[in-house]
Every structure is written in C-alpha cells, then in structure tokens.
Amino acid sequence: MEQSPDRIMTRLAYFGLLPFIISLICIWADKTMFGLSAQKVFIAYSAVILSFLAGILWGNAIDHIKHQLSRNALILSILFSLIAWGVLLHSPESYVVSILVLLFGFVAVWFAEMKIRQIEKEGKPEGYQPMRNRLTGIVAVLHLVAMAS
C-alpha cells in the first residue's frame, strides 16, 4: 500500500524529534555521541533543522514570487540560516546562549511562516499548520529542557 505524501510528511516531521530527544537523554546521562558532547550534538541538530525550516520559507517565497511578501520571506530565510550558522560557530563558548538563540529562531520562523501562509491564504496541505504548531511547541520545550540540563 502506497502512503500519501501528507502522511509521509507528518511521519517524517515527528521522527525529526528523535535526535532532539536522544541527545537530551545523552545530556542527562552525561554520555557522548559520535565522539562529541551531547550538548554539541543537540545544538548542531537544532541548527540544521532551523536552516531546513528557513528553506521552507525560501520555497514559499519562490512559489509566490509575484506576491509582495516574497522579498521578505527570501530575506528572512537567509537571516534564519545565518543565525543557525552563527550559533554553530559560537556554540562551544556559550551553550545556554546558543540554545536561547536557536529557540528564538524556531519560534520566529514558525511565526513568520504562519503569518505568510495566513496572508497568502495558503491552507494546503491540510493539517500542516496544526502539525507545525505542535512541533514548534515540542521543540521549544525540548530547548528549554536542554537549557536547564
């Protein structure tokens, strides 16, 4: 039986939480991952996912290139990717600041994407925005837990 793209999207999105959770468990257990501290792995994965989400903004801008918001979405996409890159470069010196900046990035990219989708009256795929809302909430909580660890 072939799965629909919507179902695959949802499964992959939730599976994407596993590296956050596994690295948090390793942080609590004081274990390393791939020869690196679990904190560094958490930050690196977080930065990669933030850049991935920024790419969604880029794709949205390209899909609606004639729309007035397209320019803003393109700029925000690059800004969020640069923030993630900056955190990767700076993370060894300041774990808590890195987590806070990434947390801000996740909330900001979620907010920007939600507002752009509302203005563009983009409702497809159905269930996408509620899923993004839940995932962003979970990722925010995981970042707060990582910061407290």
- How far is residue 128's CA from residue 110's CA, in Å, rounded to a whole number? 12
Q: Where does the pLDDT of residue 3 fall: very low under 50, low under 70, confident under 90, or very high at 90 and above?
A: confident
Phi and psi at residue 36, in whole multiples of 5°?
-120, 160
Provide the 3-class DSSP secondary structure of residue 29: coil
| pLDDT of amino acid 118 | 82
Please give the DSSP secondary-structure letter assigned to residue 33: E
pLDDT of residue 125: 77
Q: pLDDT of 37-87, one tens digit each? A: 999 999 999 999 999 999 988 888 888 777 777 888 899 999 999 999 999
For the chain, give the mean pLDDT: 90
Q: Which residue has the higher pLDDT, 98 or 92?
A: 98
Selection from 127, 140, 4, 129 nearest residue 60 by Cα: 129
- d(CA 68, CA 143) in angstroms, rounded, equals 33
Q: How confident is the model at residue 92 (pLDDT cuts 50, 70, 90)?
A: low
| Minimum mean pLDDT range among 23-32, 36-45, 96-105, 123-132 | 123-132
Asked if 116 contacts 58 with a C-beta cutoff of 8 angstroms, the reply is no
Q: What are phi and psi of 124, to 5 degrees?
A: -105, 145
Across 130-139, average pLDDT: 95
Which pair of tokens denotes residue 122? 């983009």
